[in-house]
């Protein structure tokens, strides 16, 4: 048994391998279900019934899909440029804080909501830009810096809601005051689906796909990501390209934060309850989409089903909610492990043939 490299793997193969990876992940999680005393088939059936086959469940999926789609689409762009942004959690929180500042401290006008989105995008983008700048100026690995900045954002928010931004009417709780009605997003009745953000997310995912494939900026971004020395050789302005990319990827995470606080919570509260791990789950969304922002329109709902399904499992089968983390972890692991099967073919042969790289040279 050995790997032989495939020179030119087709897109079809990518799809096959990725789907297979998802199936393998489902099998492994099935074992986890079995170990915790639940029939895997029951668990999966419950998940399906409680999400896609139920109108309230469907709304729950849509609500979860909004931040995943926004962040995931932005991350595909970052991954394409070889900028491994693991800090969407923090960027989301920065977006939420900026939106909170606008909602709480500026006069409420018809422009309040657009202003919240703009401020959130800038704040999230700014945080990603900090990591990008650190990488360009001091060669700080962006995986570490973005990950660490998550903690910075988390505790900054805790400080704000427990200190200067603590609501006047919330007694002992760590909340801000509730946003005024003019700073709240409309929702589809009886759901938590703040549809303006949903529409925005879908439009942005499509726009990013167009940006990547049809524009000169998209071309530059790919050159920088796929061969940075060629970018330097051709005289591309790498630093400004990376700056724009960071603003986009962080900005979209910031928008997701705005959507969460303006659409669902209507106030700033404990950061973990706002971000809910969307920033990390979106990494899987982006990875599954293989760097195509447009494909997050498919992969974001998939992960949203799993997140919403976790809630269902908690309620109907009394499983711990953390089962969702197991799900995400196994899924990501399987996807990363499946990479090798995209570029290589597994050959089963018992004969101990000497393995050459093949071909005459």
Partner 1 sequence: MTPVPPLLELIGITKRFPGVIANDGVNLELRRGEILALLGENGAGKSTLMSILYGLYRPDEGEIRLAGQPVQIGSPALALRMGIGLVPQHPVLVGRHTVAENLALGVGAAVMPAQRLEPRIRALALEYGLAVDPRARVSDLSPGEKQRVEILRALLRGAEVLILDEPTSVLTPQEAESLFGVMRGLRGAGKSLIFISHKLEEVLQICDTITVLRRGRVVGNLPVLGATKEGLAELMVGRSVNFERKRVSPVCDMPLLEVTDLSAKSARGLPALRDLSFTLHRGEVLGVAGVAGNGQSELIEVLAGLRPSTGRVMLNGRKLEGGAAQRFKAGVAHIPEDRIQMGIVPTMSVAENLTLREYGAAPLANGFWKDANAIDQNAQGAVKTFDIATPSIHTQARLLSGGNIQKVILARELAGNPKLILAVHPTYGLDIGATDSVHRTLLERTTRGAGVLLVSEDLEELMSLSDSIAVLYHGSLHGPFPVNSVTKQQIGLMMTGANFEPVGAA
Binding site for partner 1 (CB under 8 A): 7-8, 214-220, 222-223, 226-227, 229-230, 232-236, 353-354, 356, 358-361
Q: 92, 275 in Cβ contact below 8 A? A: yes
User: Which 8-state DSSP code applies to residue 84?
Assistant: -
Q: List CB contacts of 305: < 8 A, sequence separation 6 or more.
A: 47, 51, 52, 61
Nearer Cβ to partner 1 (24/236)? 236
What is the number of other CB atoms lying within 10 angstroms of the CB of residue 250? Answer: 35
Nearest distance, CB of residue 350 and partner 1, angstroms? 16
User: Which 8-state DSSP code applies to residue 111?
Assistant: T
Nearest distance, CB of residue 285 and partner 1, angstroms? 22
Nearer Cβ to partner 1 (148/206)? 206
Nearest distance, CB of residue 360 and partner 1, angstroms? 3
Q: What does each C-alpha distance from 289 to 19, 36, 44, 304, 352 come to in angstroms?
A: 11, 31, 23, 14, 38
DSSP conformation letters of 348-361: ---S-------S--
Nearer Cβ to partner 1 (37/235)? 235
Nearest distance, CB of residue 223 and partner 1, angstroms? 6
Q: List CB contacts of 2: < 8 A, sequence separation 6 or more.
A: 346, 347, 349, 355
Round to whole Å and give the CA distance between 106 and 273: 25
Nearer Cβ to partner 1 (22/204)? 204
Nearer Cβ to partner 1 (31/347)? 347
Nearest distance, CB of residue 237 and partner 1, angstroms? 8
């Amino acid at each position: 048994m050995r790997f032989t490299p495939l020179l030119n793997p087709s897109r079809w193969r990518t799809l096959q391998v990725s789907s297979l990876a998802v199936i393998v992940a489902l099998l492994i999680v099935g074992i986890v279900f079995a170990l915790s005393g639940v029939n895997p088939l029951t668990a999966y059936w419950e998940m399906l019934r409680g999400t896609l086959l139920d109108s309230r469940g469907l709304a729950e999926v849509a609500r979860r899909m909004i931040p995943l789609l926004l962040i995931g689409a932005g991350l595909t762009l970052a991954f394409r440029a070889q900028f491994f942004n693991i800090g969407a959690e923090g960027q989301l929180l920065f977006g939420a804080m900026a939106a909170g500042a606008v909602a709480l401290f500026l006069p409420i006008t018809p422009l309040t909501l657009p202003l919240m989105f703009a401020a959130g995008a800038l704040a999230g983008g700014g945080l990603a830009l900090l990591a990008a700048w650190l990488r360009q100026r001091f060669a700080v690995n962006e995986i570490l810096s973005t990950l660490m900045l998550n903690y910075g954002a988390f505790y900054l928010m805790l400080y704000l809601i427990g200190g200067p931004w603590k609501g006047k009417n919330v007694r002992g709780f760590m909340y801000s005051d509730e946003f005024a009605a003019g700073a709240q997003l409309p929702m589809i009745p009886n759901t938590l689906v703040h549809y303006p953000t949903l529409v925005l997310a879908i439009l942005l995912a499509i726009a990013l796909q167009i940006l990547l494939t049809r524009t000169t900026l998209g071309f530059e971004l790919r050159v920088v990501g796929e061969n940075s020395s060629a970018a330097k050789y051709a005289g591309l302005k790498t630093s400004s390209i990376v700056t724009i990319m960071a603003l986009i990827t962080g900005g979209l995470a910031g928008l997701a934060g705005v959507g969460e606080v303006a659409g669902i919570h209507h106030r700033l509260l404990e950061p973990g309850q706002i971000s809910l791990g969307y920033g990390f789950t979106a990494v899987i969304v982006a990875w599954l989409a293989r760097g195509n922002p447009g494909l997050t329109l498919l992969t974001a709902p998939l992960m949203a089903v799993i997140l919403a399904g976790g809630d269902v499992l908690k309620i109907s089968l009394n499983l711990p909610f953390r089962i969702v983390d197991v799900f995400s972890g196994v899924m990501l692991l399987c996807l990363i492990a499946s990479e090798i099967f995209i570029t290589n073919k597994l050959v089963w042969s018992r004969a101990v043939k000497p393995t050459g790289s093949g071909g005459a040279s």
